[in-house]
Amino acid sequence: GAVVSQHPSRVICKSGTSVKIECRSLDFQATTMFWYRQFPKQSLMLMATSNEGSKATYEQGVEKDKFLINHASLTLSTLTVTSAHPEDSSFYICSARPDLNTEAFFGQGTRLTVV
């Protein structure tokens, strides 16, 4: 199947700094990628839909100025957590679908810890 690579898998940062997470589709082009946040023992919460060449679409309640999404090419989307705070600590996962008839393929996830 298709492969989505997410990097880094773990990151620890200090409060007030910014962290960038990359999501790459390795063997297909993805005009749309999705970013999720997952709290311990909970489901995936869709944060935003990343659209290549245009602005991301954010879900209600997600601060777009805090969670910056850039989808600069058909194989790369990045999520930047700006001015991180301890409450931003979470597991972030990206996904992409090669086309509508296929399933979503997920990155390995990024465990963010803000200290």
Partner 1 sequence: AQSVTQLGSHVSVSEGALVLLRCNYSSSVPPYLFWYVQYPNQGLQLLLKYTTGATLVKGINGFEAEFKKSETSFHLTKPSAHMSDAAEYFCAVSPYNNNDMRFGAGTRLTVKP
Footprint on this chain of partner 1 (rule: CB under 8 A) = 1, 4, 6, 32, 34, 41-44, 46, 49, 91, 93, 95, 97, 100-101, 103-109, 111
Q: Which is nearer to partner 1, 1 or 86 (CB)?
A: 1
Q: How far is CA 53 from CA 4, 17, 60, in A?
A: 19, 26, 22
At 15, the amino acid letter reads S
Q: How far is the CB of 115 from partner 1 (least distance, A)?
A: 18
Q: How far is the CB of 97 from partner 1 (least distance, A)?
A: 6
β-sheet with 76-81: strand ranges across = 4-7, 19-25, 76-81, 67-73
